Amino acid sequence: MRDTFFGVFGGIVLIVAVMCFALMRLSIGEVSQSGQARIAVNLAAAQLELETIRVERWLAVQATDDAADDAFEGVTAENRGDLATKYADTLVERAKSAGKELADITPTAVYVFDGNGAVLGRDHSKLSRGERLGETYAELLTTIQAGNTGSALWLSKALNHQMLASYAPIKNAKGKVLGGIAFGRGLLERLNAASQASNGTALFAVVPAGGDAMQVFARTPSATPAMEAGVPSMKAAIGAEQSVTLSGLPPNFEGAARGLSSYGNGKQAVISAIVVNTPVGSFRSLLPSLALAMALGLVLVLVGAHLVNQYIAQPIGDLEEGLLSIINGETDVRFELEHRLLGGLVFRLNSLLNQVLGVQEDNTDDEGRASHAPGSLQNTFTVALHLDERMVEVPVEDAEGAMALRDLAPEDYYKELYDDYLAAQRTLDAPADVKFAQFSQRIKQMELQLTNKHGRPFRVIMEIDGKDVVFVAVPME
């Protein structure tokens, strides 16, 4: 039997393990990093735009400093340039100590320019003086002359510019715009910072190159040449309010792009994120765990089969050996087995052997008192009771003694009926060895049968009719 249990349940464990493996294999084949590129590009764009807001707000405060006007009060161009450089140097130092207010951004260049967009001076250098920023970046001059702050992507080979620039106007005491401050940050540096915020995702900064062409302006170190296959499709992100999915990428690559809406007219550049769309986990990595679970299941089946075998097979073996002994002539063999499942079978088997072999069963308990099975003398009174139903259809008001009988408490009612029954039996010289519990239980059964039959509650009274005791049914309602 043990081998049977092990074979059946061991097979079940193996089948379930194989099915689990197949289902997980199919499921894992469909689970991947889908959507990571869109999340990464939205995170990067949000970080760059947040930095722009912080820089513009900070510049607007710095432009209100009285020292900002000094550069416009110099007598000579060289004097004005020196004052502008001095102020630009001051802004660089302030930016270094601004900390989280500027998200720890260090400028690559700070320019002070006049109302026509001509550079008066820049930080730590006399270079760039006189450069026409207003002619190269028209949106700069328009924004400053309107008295507003702004940002743009500055790309100029002539000026050697490859940066994100933010600017704020400088006004005199009367509110007239004198010029402005430009705060430049390296695009690649800020792109790398945004990539780190999204766990090193490959990011590209792409600009229009005329017609439908797009040109990569900057890329993070994690970017690969294979990812550039999606560059042409990045044009769809220019001016789009939401990120767009890239096309043309190799299999297992996923990309998304989004325009930098906070820079210039919002159509200057596109930032994109591309990820390798790999499965979350290889199904092969599940094999050791599945094998371990399968082995554990088989061990548990083996232990369980052994325990069940001990609980069932061993008693059956004892019964088989006892029966074999009886067949061989040992008629005094009886089975002594206490078992939750087989105990009833053993009792009936012993009774059968006693009956077949003509052995009188011992009906006494451990203290020598007689015990009786159901149907013995103890319960013969239950079939000797006579019931009279002559008043079952009589209204309760007309039934003799009904009202007084109904007022009796149940315990008093059954006790009086029991005492009357014993007295009647003694009068008839037929004393009954009946316990109160057995008598009351029989009367309750009789009353229940009457109620089920006639649909109304009953109690009974006792009468002696000749040599018989009769119980008369009396309605209570």
In a domain, 220, yes or no: yes
In a domain, 434, yes or no: yes
Q: For the segment 56-75, what is each residue's pLDDT rounded down to a tens digit?
A: 999 999 999 888 888 888 88
Residue 98 near residue 107, CB atoms below 8 Å: no
**Averaged pLDDT score across all residues of the chain:** 83
Q: For the segment 432-454, what is each residue's pLDDT rounded down to a tens digit?
A: 778 888 888 888 888 988 888 88
What pLDDT, on a 0 to 100 scale, did the predictor assign at position 344? 79
Q: For the segment 368-389, what is each residue's pLDDT rounded down to a tens digit?
A: 444 444 444 344 444 457 889 9
Residue 264 near residue 139, CB atoms below 8 Å: yes
What pLDDT, on a 0 to 100 scale, did the predictor assign at position 350? 79
What pLDDT, on a 0 to 100 scale, did the predictor assign at position 333? 77
pLDDT: which is higher, 6 or 215: 215
What pLDDT, on a 0 to 100 scale, did the predictor assign at position 301? 78
End-of-domain residue from the set 243, 276, 309: 276
User: Among 268-272, 380-384, 464-468, which is the least confidently predicted range?
Assistant: 380-384
What pLDDT, on a 0 to 100 scale, did the predictor assign at position 266? 76
220 phi/psi in degrees, rounded to 5? -80, 160
Burial of 205 (0-12, 13-18, 19+ CB in 10 A): buried
In a domain, 230, yes or no: yes
| Closest by Cα among 21, 23, 29 to 277 | 29
pLDDT: which is higher, 358 or 302: 302
Q: Can you tell me whether residue 6 is helix, strand or coil? A: helix
pTM score: 0.52
224's tokens:
């690969």
What pLDDT, on a 0 to 100 scale, did the predictor assign at position 458? 93
What pLDDT, on a 0 to 100 scale, did the predictor assign at position 297? 81
The CA distance from 306 to 2, in Å, is 6
In a domain, 156, yes or no: no
Residue 190 near residue 121, CB atoms below 8 Å: no
In a domain, 157, yes or no: no
Question: Does the structure show a pLDDT above 70 at 222?
Answer: yes
In a domain, 135, yes or no: no
End-of-domain residue from the set 276, 311, 337: 276
What pLDDT, on a 0 to 100 scale, did the predictor assign at position 435? 85
Which residues span the domain enclosing 422? 377-475
Number of folded domains in the chain? 2
End-of-domain residue from the set 276, 303, 336: 276
Question: Does the structure show a pLDDT above 70 at 280?
Answer: no
Residue 168 near residue 180, CB atoms below 8 Å: yes
In a domain, 29, yes or no: no
Q: For the segment 71-88, what is each residue's pLDDT rounded down to a tens digit?
A: 888 889 899 999 999 999
Residues 6+ apart with CB under 8 A from 338: none
Question: Does the structure show a pLDDT above 70 at 281?
Answer: no
1's tokens:
């039997």
In a domain, 236, yes or no: yes
Q: For the segment 134-191, what is each residue's pLDDT rounded down to a tens digit?
A: 999 999 999 999 999 999 999 888 888 889 999 999 998 888 999 999 999 988 888 8
Question: Does the structure show a pLDDT above 90 at 55?
Answer: yes
Question: Does the structure show a pLDDT above 60 at 279?
Answer: no
What pLDDT, on a 0 to 100 scale, did the predictor assign at position 372? 45
Residue 268 near residue 153, CB atoms below 8 Å: yes
Counting residues of the chain whose pLDDT is more than 70, the rounded percentage is 88
